[in-house]
Amino acid sequence: MGKPTGFKEFDREVEPYRDPTERLADYGEIYTPHDDAHLQQQGARCMDCGVPFCQSQNTVNAAPPVSYGCPIHNLIPEWNDLVYHGRWEDALDRLHKTNNFPEFTGRVCPAPCEGSCVLGINSPAVTIKNIECAIIDKGYDEGWVKPNTPSSRTGKSVAVIGSGPAGLSAADQLNKAGHLVTVYERADRIGGLLMYGIPNMKLEKTVVDRRIDVLKAAGIAFVVNADVGNNIDVKDLVANNEAVLFTTGATLPRDLPIPGREGDGVHYAMDFLLPNTKSLLDSDLTDGNFISAKDKHVIVIGGGDTGTDCIGTSLRHGCKSLVNFELLTKPPTERPEDAPWPIGLPRIYRVDYGHAEATEKYGDDPRVYSIMSKEFIRDEHNVLKGVVTVNVDASFKEIPGTEKTWEADLILLSMGFLGPEHYASDPTDIAYDERSNYKAIKGLYKASRDKVWAAGDCRSGQSLVVRAINEGREAAREIDRELMGDTQLP
């Protein structure tokens, strides 16, 4: 695929982000415009590798299991080759065969495909994510993205609870099959975590809205401010539809129950990020309906994408200082021996957009590794003043004599999620697994009672947007099979 000798002739060159100083002044997307010629050259690097591990999602037999390749089986070598030859519309057609929303994955996916690229064995991988994003953006610019309106309707109705990536991909697929699909979203805008969980600078909300407009034009119905379990009876949805699919996400955050936890100043990451995006969209942050980091000493506890988003948002507020605690040791800069190729997401040292911005502003990477929080410090009025920490070794054993007190006015907990909320699902009496997720077998997605299904993070636990899209697509296929006795959905 691509140019036969391209991987020898051209080096990997990713599309750069906007300059940190420039982008810190606004909430616009961090990305720079696509350069067709540059991306065609990068597409030329895709090898005729024989077995494209990049597109073949599999699980390595390890404990815990680790995956490689694209979870939605994107036909990566095919559209790399088409881009190299300038056939962008054909590349978009190939991309849409497996991915309902490449504009989302092309921006926020950590690209396990690149970690599994065969070229990556001894050279930098192909810039798959950049090329994917450029294909879909060009598709919108050229008017190639059209609604998938079915030629006929089955007359069967399906309710989808939750409008994140799993819910939207399931709705799109079920609508293609001719079913009458209604998506219920408890927030005031459609998109779930795509709308409010991911900051605007990483996924601009106009990008989400333009896809929602396409889905609406295809015939999907959306209901906002529809808090199933509160203002909508889930039993009515089950009674009045042929199928109900839960795609409510894993929204219960992990807490840090150490002394001093109770009181203002310590907040879950999503309680910080969600209101900020809503206020940005509602009023350009003039309404004040968000937690501000302006002129505060901010500490983010926990890493990952959410921690980075807290860093980037705090910097844009104008925080006074910023530190990011990570319990784990600092990862190596090269792939470690216990995560050999083709494992798609090895734990290595990466500099994300927020880390680069903090380094630009303060001169140092904000992350501190191998550190455990012991106590939040408050004054006699219960006002947050700081946090006491201790260093730990690789087995998380405390190292004596390493206690330290850090000044803090705002502490954000970004420590992952425990599972889904149950108030919407409890009335259906469906079963939960040992981690409190909705109990449904991967690949089948049927819950423990008739007419009820579950997919995405509420079934699997916290994961990636691309895996949620995969589960939504697969769940739609199985729902269609049950409703119709057969299915043509992939």
User: pLDDT, tens digit, for every residue of 324-340?
Assistant: 999 999 999 999 988 88
200 and 180 belong to one structural domain: yes
Q: Which of 256, 301, 277 is nearest to 412 (CA)?
A: 301
What are the DSSP E strand ranges found in 90-223? Answer: 157-161, 180-184, 221-223
Q: Which of 10, 30, 36, 427 is nearest to 198 (CA)?
A: 30
- Per the CB < 8 A criterion, the answer to whether 186 and 225 are in contact is yes
Residue that terminates a domain, selected from 82, 110, 141 = 141
69 and 208 belong to one structural domain: no
- Per the CB < 8 A criterion, the answer to whether 268 and 310 are in contact is no
246 and 260 belong to one structural domain: no
What are the DSSP E strand ranges found in 270-370? Answer: 297-301, 321-326, 367-369
Name residue 214's amino acid: V
- Per the CB < 8 A criterion, the answer to whether 362 and 321 are in contact is yes
Q: Give the model's pLDDT for residue 68.
A: 85
Cross-strand partners of 407: 386
The parent domain of residue 210 ranges over 157-252+418-484
Question: Across residues 342-352, what is the average pLDDT?
Answer: 92
363 and 436 belong to one structural domain: no
Q: Show the tokens assigned to 199.
A: 């900051």
Residue that terminates a domain, selected from 141, 170, 195 = 141
Question: Across residues 207-229, what is the average pLDDT?
Answer: 98
Q: Show the tokens assigned to 160.
A: 């989808």
Q: Rounded to whole angstroms, how far apart are CA atoms 419 and 437?
A: 6
Tally the residues of the chain. 490
Is residue 369 domain-resident?
yes
Q: Rounded to whole angstroms, how far apart are CA atoms 204 and 27?
A: 9
* φ, ψ (nearest 5 deg) of residue 183: -105, 130
130 and 17 belong to one structural domain: yes
Residue 61's pLDDT band (cuts 50, 70, 90)? low
Q: Rounded to whole angstroms, how far apart are CA atoms 464 and 421?
A: 18
Q: Show the tokens assigned to 16.
A: 């750069």
Q: What is the pLDDT of residues 68-127, one digit of tens each?
A: 899 999 999 999 999 999 999 999 999 999 999 999 999 999 999 999 999 999 999 999
Q: Rounded to whole angstroms, how far apart are CA atoms 241 and 212?
A: 22
Q: Rounded to whole angstroms, how far apart are CA atoms 88 and 99?
A: 16
211 and 128 belong to one structural domain: no
What are the DSSP E strand ranges found in 58-175? Answer: 58-60, 66-68, 157-161
Contacts of 122 (CB under 8 A, 6+ apart): none
- Per the CB < 8 A criterion, the answer to whether 327 and 367 are in contact is no
Is residue 169 domain-resident?
yes
Q: Give the chain's mean pLDDT.
A: 96
Residue that terminates a domain, selected from 141, 172, 191 = 141
Whether the predicted pLDDT of 62 surpasses 60: no
Strands 384-391 and 371-378: antiparallel
248 and 303 belong to one structural domain: no
Is residue 149 domain-resident?
no
The structural domain count of the chain equals 3
Is residue 38 domain-resident?
yes
Q: Give the model's pLDDT for residue 56.
A: 80
Whether the predicted pLDDT of 318 surpasses 60: yes
Is residue 148 domain-resident?
no
Q: Show the tokens assigned to 50.
A: 């024989």
- Per the CB < 8 A criterion, the answer to whether 368 and 324 are in contact is yes
Other CB atoms within a 10 A radius of the CB of residue 461 amount to 17
Residue indicated by tokens 């390890």:
62
11 and 88 belong to one structural domain: yes
CATH of the domain at 103: 1.10.1060.10
262 and 410 belong to one structural domain: yes
Is residue 273 domain-resident?
yes
Question: Across residues 308-317, what is the average pLDDT?
Answer: 98
181 and 51 belong to one structural domain: no
Residue 286's pLDDT band (cuts 50, 70, 90)? very high
Q: Give the model's pLDDT for residue 339.
A: 87
The enclosing H or E element of 386 equals: strand 384-391
Is residue 168 domain-resident?
yes
Exposure class string for 145-174: b at 16+ Cβ within 10 A, else e: beebeeeeebebbbbbbbbbbbbbbbbbbb
Other CB atoms within a 10 A radius of the CB of residue 184 amount to 24
388 and 443 belong to one structural domain: no
CATH of the domain at 447: 3.50.50.60
81 and 206 belong to one structural domain: no
Q: Rounded to whole angstroms, how far apart are CA atoms 425 and 427?
A: 6
Is residue 1 domain-resident?
no
The enclosing H or E element of 375 equals: strand 371-378
